[in-house]
């Protein structure tokens, strides 16, 4: 791990993050380690484009990779098959009704993912953010059962996607697409997806350089948005 080459945040104020330009080239974007997952530190990190990502048994690792993967809400790709699912009402989409259960679903092992980075400490930290109105879940329900969803952090009119899960075909995809439609209606900027993967790219995500991403952060995190509007989000769209 290259911890000896990185600043340690143990005992440091919540605002004491290094400059993003100091992030390591390899591993890409590793910036600092240590410190706590307090709400204040997490919100300060996201405002700067920094996020925690580590495994059980490791110290907290803080990342800010460049290029950055983002998804512009108005450019999300919706296939004809997915449109049919949306029009057919295959899922009921809700927001913030089972945040803890969505995190639990995202933390479960799956094919190619035998372990999880969503540790107990991470779950507790984001639950605290949720209870303070900063973290949100968008959920796919079928026959009264939670079958998929996505969660992340919202600051101003910027959404930082963290993880998603699915227990039914296309459940998480429908939740994410509906979330993008709502973010577009609310005037949000690009959704932060952190690092690219084939699934995100297939949905229209792109990579942007650090300067462009941090300019979007400065613009959209400063725009006011009432957190209670999330509780009225029910994903009813004319597809």
In this structure, the answer to whether residues 56 and 73 fall within a common structural domain is no
CA distance 16 to 28: 21
User: Looking at residue 111, what is its pLDDT?
Assistant: 58
Condensed to tens digits (0 to 9), the pLDDT of residues 107-122 reads 997 655 556 789 999 9
**What pLDDT is recorded for position 116?**
76
For residues 78 and 92, state if they share a domain.
yes
Greater confidence (144 vs 87) lies with 144
Location of structure tokens 């993008």: 180
Kindly state whether residues 29 and 108 are assigned to the same domain. no
Judge if 116 and 221 occupy the same domain. yes
Mean pLDDT of 73-96: 89
Q: Is residue 130 part of a domain?
A: yes
Tell me if 238 is assigned to some domain. Answer: no
Per-residue pLDDT band at 75 (split at 50, 70, 90): very high
In a domain, 138, yes or no: yes
Average pLDDT over residues 146-158: 98
Q: Percentage of the chain with pLDDT > 70?
A: 95
| Domain edge (last residue) among 19, 40, 65 | 65
* 186-235 pLDDT, tens digit each: 999 999 999 999 999 999 999 999 999 999 999 999 999 999 899 888 76
One domain, residues 116 and 173: yes
> What pLDDT, on a 0 to 100 scale, did the predictor assign at position 114?
55
Is there a single domain that holds both residue 61 and residue 94? no
Per-residue pLDDT tens over the stretch 25-57? 989 999 999 999 999 999 999 999 999 999 999
Q: Using CA atoms, how far apart are residues 59 and 35, in angstroms rounded to an integer?
A: 8
Say yes or no to pLDDT of 236 above 80: no
Is the pLDDT reported for residue 158 higher than 70?
yes
Could you tell me the CATH number of the domain that includes residue 61?
3.30.70.3550
Of 38, 65, 92, the last residue of a domain is 65
Determine the pLDDT at residue 234. Answer: 72
Structural domain harbouring 55: 3-65
Q: Is the same domain home to 115 and 225?
A: yes
Question: What is the pLDDT, as a whole number, of residue 232?
Answer: 82
- For residue 180, what is the domain's CATH number? 3.40.630.70
Q: Is 170 left (phi over 0), alpha (psi -120 to 50) or beta?
A: left
Least confident of 87-96, 127-136, 204-213: 87-96
Among 65, 90, 116, the domain boundary falls at 65
**What's the structural domain count of the chain?**
2
Per-residue model confidence (pLDDT) at position 218: 98
Q: What's CA 153's distance to the chain center, in Å?
A: 6
Q: For the chain, give the mean pLDDT.
A: 93
């Amino acid at each position: 791990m290259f911890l000896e080459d990185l600043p340690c945040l143990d005992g440091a104020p919540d605002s004491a993050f290094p400059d993003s330009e100091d992030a390591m080239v390899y591993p890409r974007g590793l910036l600092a380690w240590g410190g706590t997952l307090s709400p204040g530190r997490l919100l300060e990190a996201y405002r700067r484009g920094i996020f925690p990502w580590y495994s059980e048994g490791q110290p907290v690792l803080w990342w800010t990779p460049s290029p950055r993967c983002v998804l512009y809400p108005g450019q999300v790709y919706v296939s004809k098959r997915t449109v049919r699912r949306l029009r057919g009402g295959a899922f009921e989409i809700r927001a913030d009704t089972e945040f803890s259960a969505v995190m639990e679903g995202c933390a479960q092992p799956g094919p190619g993912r035998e372990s999880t980075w969503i540790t107990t400490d991470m779950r507790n930290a984001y639950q605290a953010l949720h209870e303070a109105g900063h973290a949100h879940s968008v959920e796919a329900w079928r026959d009264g059962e939670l079958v998929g969803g996505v969660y992340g952090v919202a600051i101003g009119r910027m959404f930082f996607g963290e993880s998603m899960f699915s227990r039914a075909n296309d459940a998480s995809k429908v939740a994410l697409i509906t979330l993008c439609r709502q973010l577009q209606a609310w005037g949000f900027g690009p959704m932060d997806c952190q690092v690219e993967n084939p699934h995100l790219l297939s949905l229209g995500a792109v990579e942007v350089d650090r300067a462009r991403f941090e300019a979007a952060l400065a613009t959209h995190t400063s725009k006011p948005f009432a957190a209670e509007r999330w509780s009225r989000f029910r994903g009813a769209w004319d597809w």
